[in-house]
Amino acid sequence: MTKSADILDGLSEATPAFRRYARALGAGAGLVVADGVVQAALQGLGARMRAREICPTDREAARVEAYAAITALAARKFIATPGPGPRQPPIVHGLSRLHVDDRAVLLLICLEGFGYETVARIVGASRESVFVRLQRARLAMADWADMTNIPAEMSPTRNSAHLRVVK
């Protein structure tokens, strides 16, 4: 198997994670819209790889490029979508209150498990900006949980050590 075929196989294997991330990033925008973002981002990434605009060295580098493409496309696509419906889980309503940049940082660190340097590359910001966005998102989610009287076991309170992923 060639190196590029191996990288493309890695992207195929990671597609469920990409879809999970896009759906969470969309915060209720709809499954079809989120899946469309993933498909368009992966097609664009494949075209850029074939045109040799980018040359990921391994599966992990290609995965980071895919998350960057999804994040950039989602920022444009999800800006005009309506908020979550009443049947969506409470966490989706909390996420929908965040700015898409803050939501992306929170999800990339807490849901996808990336480190700060990698998240900075994905969102195209400095490491310091990532720290600020993450702190802002965590505080907003904690405030939202306090306002909505979320049960204590589901609440992302400021004292919850289990929400902090430090790398």
Higher pLDDT, 131 or 97: 131
Q: Phi and psi at residue 125, in whole multiples of 5°?
A: -135, 170
| CATH code for residues 3-163 | 1.20.140.160
CA atoms of 79 and 104, how far apart (whole Å): 13
Instruction: Tell which residue, 105, 92, 89, has the closest CA to residue 137.
Output: 105
Measured over the CA atoms of residue 14, residue 47, residue 56 and residue 33, the dihedral's sign is negative
CA atoms of 144 and 93, how far apart (whole Å): 9
Question: pLDDT digit string (tens) for 29-55?
Answer: 778 888 999 999 999 888 888 888 877
CA atoms of 134 and 140, how far apart (whole Å): 10
Residue 55: its pLDDT value, please? 78
Residue 8: its pLDDT value, please? 75
Q: Give the CA-trace dihedral at 29, 34, 35, 37, to 10 degrees.
A: 140
Higher pLDDT, 109 or 27: 109
For the full predicted model, state whether its pTM sits above 0.85. Answer: no
